[in-house]
């Protein structure tokens, strides 16, 4: 099968998906979260999906890192997301007791704000 083919690898005609919407760029108001952070099968990537007002879904991913700078960046981004649903004081109280393990960290965050994120409208950008 070649790129640009008009048929799929199993011989079906390739058609445009008329139902897809293009994500907005920049700062987007009135976004919601679809679910919470989910770990992939081998537990090396955590994903969370945001839904924009036009229905576009944007998935944000965090990869497990052994690099201290990478861990700092992940902590900053996850804190930014989590504090949209729970206060910073609660976030800080939760994270004080967590080992330096992304899986344990995200599992605890899931249990704390699973219900808090439901129906919350946020700004994405």
Q: Mean pLDDT by 10-residue block, N- to C-terminus, for the chain (125 residues)?
A: 77 77 85 79 84 89 86 85 82 69 68 57 59
From CA 74, how far away is CA 8, in angstroms rounded? 38
Q: What is the pLDDT of residue 49?
A: 87
Query: If we measure between CA atoms, which residue out of 34, 36, 26, 35 comes closest to residue 51?
Result: 34
- List, in sequence order, every residue forming a beta bridge with 31; answer none if it has no partner: 122
Q: What is the pLDDT of residue 122?
A: 58
Q: What is the pLDDT of residue 22?
A: 83
From CA 7, how far away is CA 3, in angstroms rounded? 10
Query: If we measure between CA atoms, which residue out of 52, 35, 33, 17 comes closest to residue 120?
Result: 33
From CA 38, how far away is CA 56, in angstroms rounded? 19
User: The whole model's pTM is what?
Assistant: 0.63
SS3 29: strand
**What is the arrangement of strands in the sheet containing 122-124, beginning at the earlier edge strand?**
57-63, 45-51, 28-39, 122-124
Element (H, E) at 46: strand 45-51
């Amino acid at each position: 099968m070649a790129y640009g083919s008009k048929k799929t690898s199993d011989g079906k005609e390739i058609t445009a998906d008329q139902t897809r919407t293009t994500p907005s760029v920049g700062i987007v108001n009135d976004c919601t979260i679809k679910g919470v952070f989910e770990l992939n099968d081998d537990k090396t990537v955590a994903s969370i999906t945001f839904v924009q007002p036009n229905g576009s879904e944007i998935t944000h991913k965090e990869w497990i890192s052994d690099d201290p700078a990478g861990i700092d960046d992940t902590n900053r981004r996850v804190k930014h997301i989590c504090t949209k649903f729970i206060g910073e004081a609660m976030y800080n109280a939760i994270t004080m007791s967590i080992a330096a393990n992304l899986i344990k960290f995200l599992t605890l965050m899931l249990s704390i704000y699973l219900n808090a994120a439901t129906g919350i409208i946020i700004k994405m950008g």
